[in-house]
A and B are shown apart, each in its own frame.
Chain A
Amino acid sequence: KAGVTQTPRYLIKTRGQQVTLSCSPISGHRSVSWYQQTPGQGLQFLFEYFSETQRNKGNFPGRFSGRQFSNSRSEMNVSTLELGDSALYLCASSPSGGGSGPTYNEQFFGPGTRLTVL
């Protein structure tokens, strides 16, 4: 079974530009989450999509947005890039959208997209 794939793996942009990152989850997985990883702030949750609906959102400005398609593939977009947006962006997929009780569906992470803003 193929793992989570993210494209592109590396990206260099300049301030003020916008960028779109793509994530293809494991086949059959319906939940996709996005995280930002930086040396200063660590791993921070951006948002989660389940069945094309945003389920949760982290504390990021509106410049960060995402969407999910009917085949569960997800994209995230960052508009008006700032130097501080330089980070590793990780995508994770899971079979379900969480829920109540002790059952947990493991999240599988992709290799990430390394974004550098100059």
Chain B
Amino acid sequence: GNSVTQMEGPVTLSEEAFLTINCTYTATGYPSLFWYVQYPGEGLQLLLKATKADDKGSNKGFEATYRKETTSFHLEKGSVQVSDSAVYFCALSDWEYGNKLVFGAGTILRVKS
């Protein structure tokens, strides 16, 4: 079945450092890929998405490129801020299963000032 693997955390960075959170997936079809963010005590917010190979999703300085050849969708940001501290989830959606999202385990990001 479909699955998502993302790097374990927590990831602790200093403000203005470069961020990479790795995400790889396994899927039988042609999934869409997403990054969601969860702040303490809140639900999930869609951060960015990519619906086909080589698409680049971007939002609020975060970027991720859909790499079919390496089945990856790594999240990057050039300069993190304290306000970026949250849990980040990589996810995929396969059309055969409607709106079902398959999530990775989540990566806690802590940014120190």
Contacts and interface: CB of A to CB of B under 8 A. Distances in A.
Interface of A: 4, 31, 33, 35, 42-45, 48, 50, 55-56, 58, 90, 92, 94, 97-112
- Main secondary structure, interface of B, reads mixed
A16 B58 CA distance: 46
B82 interface: no
20 contacts: A35-B101, A42-B103, A43-B101, A45-B100, A45-B101, A55-B99, A56-B98, A56-B100, A97-B98, A98-B97, A99-B98, A102-B52, A104-B49, A106-B49, A107-B99, A107-B101, A109-B36, A110-B43, A111-B41, A111-B43
Interface-central residue, A50, A102, A103, by most chain B CB under 10 Å: A102
A42 B99 CA distance: 18
B49 A42 contact: no
Contacts, number: 73
Q: Chain B interface residue count: which class?
A: 20 to 34
Given A42-B106, A90-B43, A105 B99 contact: yes
Interface in B73-113: 89, 93, 95, 97-106
B86 to A, nearest CB: 14
Interface string B23-64: 000000000100010000111111001011000000000000
Contacts of A108: 46
A113 to B, nearest CB: 10
A56 B97 contact: yes
Contact of B93 (A42, A58, A104): A104
Nearest to B52: A102
Given A43-B89, A90-B43, A111-B43, A33 B51 contact: no
Contacts of B49: 104, 106
Nearest to B94: A98
A107 B32 CA distance: 13
